[in-house]
Amino acid sequence: MSRAVAALLAVSMAAGCSATRGAAARTLPDDRDAEILYVALGDSTVEGVGASRHENNYVSLLHARLHAIYRNARLQNLGVGGATSADVLARQLEPAIASRPDLVTLSVGPNDITERVPLAAYTRNMDAILARLAASTPAVIVVSLLPDLAVTPRFRGQEAEELVGRRSVEFNDALARMAKRHGAQIVDLYVPSRREVPARPELIARDGYHPSDLGYARWAELMWEAVRSKIRS
């Protein structure tokens, strides 16, 4: 394990513990007839690029699990392919807040990396997004760390490991710190991607980059743990 990865793991674990404490008051209701609105923010992985059908992206799979518990659960998916953190801040955040969500998931950052957005700018954007969500909604906020882009076929190789791989760690470090600051639940997609994608290429779609149906199912499984922990029994 590299020093960068080890450092990220330490930050993520510490942030996760603190975020859990900070978000303790934010829960989903025990009334199974409650009208629950789930709003998803982010990029092409939120839109579901790579899935064979809309129903197979991780957002739809999470909604299906939520609907199995809350029969009146609804979904508003605001994710757009190609979105950066600046796009979420400028175009998705205010509609999300206006809809008064009970649950928000946020997945964004790979496009910031590939478009060479400075780390400082990404950090400011994520800080602003999470601050607004925390201050303006009572929603349970779930943030996914970025998977390791360098293990995908599109970026695999020495140059990718040095550039894309390194920036994945840096961006995740910033993201974990912002989630800790604003009491969001953190879901680690980074470590599973490093371990599982090289051994299971079927987790990646034919474009060599986005998750496949199986990949999205795995993301939904990981993210559901964070959501389920906030459901009152």
Residue 15, pLDDT > 70, answer no
Please spell the DSSP secondary structure of the chain, one letter per residue: --HHHHHHHHHHHHHHHHHHHHTTT--B-S-TTS--EEEEEESHHHHTTT-SSGGGSHHHHHHHHHHHH-TT-EEEE---TT--HHHIIIIIHHHHHHT--SEEEEE--HHHHHTT--HHHHHHHHHHHHHHHHHH---EEEEEPPP-GGGSTTT-SHHHIIIIIHHHHHHHHHHHHHHHHHT-EEE--HHHHHHHTTT-GGGB-TTSSSB-HHHHHHHHHHHHHHHHTTB--
Determine what percent of the chain is predicted with pLDDT higher than 90. 83
Residue 16, pLDDT > 90, answer no
Q: Which pLDDT value is given to residue 22?
A: 46
Residue 175, pLDDT > 80, answer yes
Q: What is the mean pLDDT of residues 134-146?
A: 97
Residue 7, pLDDT > 80, answer no
pLDDT band at 158 (very low <50, low <70, confident <90, very high): low
Of 142, 144, 123, 143, the C-alpha closest to 191 is: 144
Residue 12, pLDDT > 90, answer no
Residue 136, pLDDT > 90, answer yes
Rounded to whole angstroms, how far apart are CA atoms 97 and 133?
A: 7
Contacts of 117 (CB under 8 A, 6+ apart): 84, 85, 86
Rounded to whole angstroms, how far apart are CA atoms 96 and 94?
A: 5
pLDDT band at 163 (very low <50, low <70, confident <90, very high): confident
Determine what percent of the chain is predicted with pLDDT higher than 70. 88
CATH number listed for the domain at residues 3-16+27-228:
3.40.50.1110
What is the per-residue pLDDT across 61-84, written as a single tens digit (0 to 9) for each? 999 999 999 999 999 999 999 999
What is the per-residue pLDDT across 82-102, written as a single tens digit (0 to 9) for each? 999 999 999 999 999 999 999
Q: What is the mean pLDDT of residues 157-183?
A: 89
pLDDT band at 194 (very low <50, low <70, confident <90, very high): very high
pLDDT band at 24 (very low <50, low <70, confident <90, very high): low
